[in-house]
Amino acid sequence: MNSLNKENNSDINRTLNINSKSGRGKHLIRWIVWLLIAVMAVFAVIKLGTGNSADKVEYKTESVQRGDLIVSVATTGTLQPTNQVEVGSELSGIIRTVEADYNDIVKIGQVLARLDTSRLEAQVQQSKASLEAAIAKVRQVQATVKEAGSSLNRLKQVGTLSGNRLSSQQDVDAAEAILERSLADETSARASVSQAEANLRIVQTDLSKAVIYSPIKGVVLKRSVEPGQTVAASLQAPVLFTLAEDLTKMELRVDVDEADVDKVKKNQKATFTVDGYPDRVFTAQITQVRYGSKIVSGVVTYEAILKVDNSDLSLRPGMTATANIVTNKIVNSVLIPNAALRFTPPAKENETLSGNSSIIGKLFPRPRRPQTKLKKETKADRKKARAWILKEGQLSEVSMIIGESDGIITEVISGGIDPGMKVIIDTVRTGQ
């Protein structure tokens, strides 16, 4: 019976292909799978490490030229009249009439506005009356002086004729004292006349200032007063009109950065544009570079004044302008693109860090070593530069001394750079 069961089990095992060695087979299959994965990973690392070698490096070049270099300083500012005058009032009162409006062209001495003068006219009459009273007082005192003088003369004559028996010395002294007092009264009366005349002139001057005149020939930019408005002139004269003398000649006030102010000089030429005429370029000339500085948000600037011709009256006060001041013009110089000076050749394919050429090194690269501290760059070092050219298909370095630059091209003062030479400005990788 037992032998029959064993035979049946062995038949079942053969049918199901199950034997005692199946466990070792599973372990072998698992190891084979892991080995394949490891081989694929190694292949991927090697492919990544050498994949870039399939790319071909090409160089983009540009020719060195000979020509003129214009160096300029860019800045912004506002347009202003050459002479702008604010017309105010020294007197307080009510505006009776306004005789000038915006954009009116006015002449010197033309009436702009008038104040109510009824009170001032009454003060003039009062001052005239005070003057007449002072003059009458002088005449009265003059009569007294004349009378006192006559009395003194009679006493002296009587004394002389009578041998000083009819008039005593005391009477003569009293008469002299009266005469002196009369003369003093006359001096005081004349001073009162002068004071009354001065008061009259003050009131008459105030009356004349009640009429606001134009001090210059120009155009009215602003009008800040209306008829019936009360003007209060206490500590500061209120501004009634703003006049521009001549809008055909204007000035552009720009702020020059402190880094560029040493390049900006008097009589230098400039061009500028305004938003109102985006397709038009205007010309200007520097007339002054002021020494006083302005600090806005920590930025130090200096104001430069440029003379502008506005004969067609197209420019208006207050316009914002973007100006380019020509600080230097270099004629017939060797010019190299700035991109060539910034170009750095790529690292060679076989240049790798020591220990990183192996698979383990590529999987676990070493950290970069800290760079050594650079020495302080001097002005002479900043003039030294280098560029790269292709010589027999290989990169070749060319050293030079550079000068001025406009931000796009740079002047070459000396070095192995000649006009027409092709300098490298960039690299382009193309797949094979």
pTM value surpassing 0.75: no
Distance CA 400, CA 421 (A): 14
Cα-only R_g, the chain: 52
pLDDT band at 283 (very low <50, low <70, confident <90, very high): very high
The H or E element spanning position 317 is none
The single-letter DSSP state of residue 374 is P
Tokens found for residue 171: 């009477």
Which residues sit opposite 333 in a β-bridge?
A: 67
**Helix, strand or coil for residue 419?**
coil
* Residue 166 reports pLDDT greater than 60: no
Tokens found for residue 369: 């070593």
CATH node for 72-82+248-330: 2.40.30.170
* Residue 101 reports pLDDT greater than 50: yes
**Which residues lie below 8 Å from residue 126, measured CB to CB, with a gap of 6+?**
203
Residue of 147, 167, 143 lying closest to 157 (CA atoms):
167
pLDDT band at 374 (very low <50, low <70, confident <90, very high): very low
Q: What is the structure's pLDDT at 365?
A: 53
Q: What are phi and psi of 354, to 5 degrees?
A: -60, 135
Q: How far, rounded to the nearest angstrom, does the alpha carbon of residue 365 sit from its chain's CA centroid?
A: 52
More confidently predicted of 379 and 391: 391
The H or E element spanning position 75 is strand 65-81
Q: What is the structure's pLDDT at 376?
A: 52
Helical ranges in 97-225 per DSSP H: 118-162, 169-209
CATH node for 85-114+214-245: 2.40.50.100
Distance CA 397, CA 394 (A): 10
**Helix, strand or coil for residue 367?**
coil
Q: Tens digit of pLDDT for each residue in 182-238?
A: 888 888 888 999 999 999 999 999 999 999 999 999 999 999 999 999 998 877 788
**Helix, strand or coil for residue 242?**
strand
Q: Tens digit of pLDDT for each residue in 325-350?
A: 999 999 999 999 999 999 988 865 44
68-107 burial, b if ≥16 CB within 10 A, otherwise e? ebebbbebebebbbbeeeebebebebebeebebeeebebe
Q: Which residue is listed with tokens 């010589």? A: 391
More confidently predicted of 397 and 45: 397
User: Where are the domains positioned within the chain?
Assistant: 56-69+334-348+374-431, 72-82+248-330, 85-114+214-245, 117-209
Please give the single-letter amino acid code of residue 79: L
Distance CA 274, CA 294 (A): 23
CATH node for 56-69+334-348+374-431: 2.40.420.20
Q: What percent of the chain has pLDDT over 90?
A: 52
* Residue 426 reports pLDDT greater than 60: yes
